[in-house]
Amino acid sequence: MNAFVLALLASPLPAAPLAQAATPPAVTLAQASEPFVKATAEAAVRTLATELEENFVFPDKGEAYAAMLRANLAAGEYASFGDANAFAQKVTDDLQAVHKDGHLRVRPFSAEQRARIQAGGNRGGAPEESAIAKSGWLADGVAYIDTRGFPGNEATVAEVRKFLASHRDAKTLIIDARKNRGGGLDEMDLIFSEIFAAPTTLVAMDIRQAVEEKNGTPFGDLATLRKVSGPETIIRREHFVTPPVGQGGLRDAKVYLLISKNTFSAAEHLSLSLKRTKRATLIGEATGGGAHFGGGVPLGESYGAFIPVGRTFDPDTGQSWEGIGVKPDVEVPADRALDEALKLAGVNKSAEVALAALK
């Protein structure tokens, strides 16, 4: 698993590609149909079985996945398919039947991606464009930012930083994560540093010790993570915030977080952090339910998999949102969440009218 790279993000099944990660993922998987080749497909299954056995977040489940894959392979279950997508979906379905995991899946590489791999080039990477769809003032004292992901790229980080600086004295902050598929911690760390008035522990994160010892820390040198004691064979960290000197008024602002079933992975990390600390009111629908972080792993030159190696959870209860999502404080249909937030903020205008004023 030498190519492992941290990714808090991957779309939940059966939705489409793995999308961007906290750092460039080891694999960016294709949607276009590619030919099925028995030899490369079966080799991918053998590699996948080993990777899951050695690295999956729960060792017993990793062993169960591996045993199933090897048994199916021996029985000829992966010998013939109409195309590479059909094979990848079959393997993914088999994995989910053993143990459901919102991030775990297999996808084929496109011909272009395969050519880059064969040439030793980049297998993918976070897009350079900003993942902020809209931001600005919705009303007097009411700031709004629509986040579509946390790719950690320069464009998105710069736009979040600029937004916070120009709206630092807002009385109300509305963070729209209804279409945020996740990513890393960089953008949310900027937000946390402005909206918390005191040092606060947000969530806890566990990773298999063997995975980190073999591949190094997937988190880099983030100053907002600290190691704490945890179970044997597990490295545990706390994600925390220490507000900087010279904060603006956002430390006292009322915060509303808009969520939906399409709020996923790192965006759910944001959701749980704000809910368990009671720093925001969550409005909308329960989130998508993907609490296990991991990375893209190539399975030869034709397929790749996203393999979860760690989990994020509430340090008070030990519970994560895997499979169930983070529930809202105010439950309304997702398309009505902004209207509800504006109402709670005392703004006498609809979401449609408010958003029309933004560039």
Q: Which long-range contacts (CB under 8 A, 24 or more apart) does 242-247 make?
A: 242/193, 242/199, 243/193, 243/194, 243/196, 243/197, 243/198, 243/199, 244/193, 247/168, 247/193, 247/194, 247/197
Is 324 a member of any domain? yes
Domain boundaries, position 261: 132-291+309-356
Is 200 a member of any domain? yes
Q: Omega into 199 within 30° of 0, i.e. cis?
A: no
Is 46 a member of any domain? no
Is 79 a member of any domain? no
Of 279, 276, 278, 283, nearest in space to 260 by CA: 283
Q: Rounded mean pLDDT of 90-117?
A: 86
3-state secondary structure of 225: strand
Is 32 a member of any domain? no
267 touches 150 (CB < 8 A)? yes
Position 203 scores a pLDDT of 97
Two structure tokens written together for 60? 């017993």
Position 117 scores a pLDDT of 56
Total number of residues shown for the chain: 359
Q: Rounded mean pLDDT of 337-356?
A: 96
* Tens digit of each residue's pLDDT (9 = 90 or more) over 163-213: 999 999 999 999 999 999 999 999 999 999 999 999 999 999 999 998 899
Cβ-count burial of 83 within 10 angstroms (0-12 exposed, 13-18 middle, 19+ buried)?
Answer: middle
Kindly give the interhelix angle for 186-195 and 154-166, rounded to the nearest 10 degrees: 10
DSSP state of 349: S
Of 78, 91, 105, 84, nearest in space to 31 by CA: 84
- Rounded to whole angstroms, the maximal C-alpha distance in the chain is 66
Is 8 a member of any domain? no
The bridge status of strand 303-313 relative to strand 200-208 is antiparallel
- pLDDT at residue 4 is higher than 50: no
Two structure tokens written together for 187? 């953008």
The bridge status of strand 142-147 relative to strand 172-176 is parallel
Position 50 scores a pLDDT of 97
Q: Beta-strand (E) ranges in 224-291?
A: 225-228, 234-241, 254-259, 281-284
Q: What is the C-alpha separation between 87 and 49, in angstroms, rounded?
A: 15
Position 26 scores a pLDDT of 35
- pLDDT at residue 301 is higher than 90: no
Cβ-count burial of 217 within 10 angstroms (0-12 exposed, 13-18 middle, 19+ buried)?
Answer: middle
145 touches 115 (CB < 8 A)? no
3-state secondary structure of 35: coil
Using 50, 70 and 90 to split pLDDT, how confident is the model at 79?
very high
Of 304, 275, 228, nearest in space to 44 by CA: 304
The type of residue at 111 is A
The type of residue at 88 is A
Q: What is the C-alpha separation between 184 and 247, in angstroms, rounded?
A: 23
Residues facing 137 on adjacent strands: 143
Of 149, 229, 228, nearest in space to 181 by CA: 149
Is 250 a member of any domain? yes
The type of residue at 101 is D
Is 259 a member of any domain? yes
- pLDDT at residue 297 is higher than 50: yes
**Residue 256 backbone dihedrals phi, psi, to 5 degrees:** -120, 130
* Tens digit of each residue's pLDDT (9 = 90 or more) over 232-288: 989 999 999 999 998 889 999 999 999 999 999 999 999 999 999 999 999 999 999
Using 50, 70 and 90 to split pLDDT, how confident is the model at 33?
confident
Position 120 scores a pLDDT of 53
Looking at the 3D structure of the chain, how many domains does it have? 1
Position 119 scores a pLDDT of 59
Q: Integer distance in angstroms from the first to the last C-alpha of the chain?
A: 44
Residue 142's domain is classified under what CATH number? 3.90.226.10
Q: With pLDDT > 90 as the criterion, what percentage of the chain qualifies?
A: 76
Q: Rounded mean pLDDT of 312-323?
A: 95
Position 31 scores a pLDDT of 52
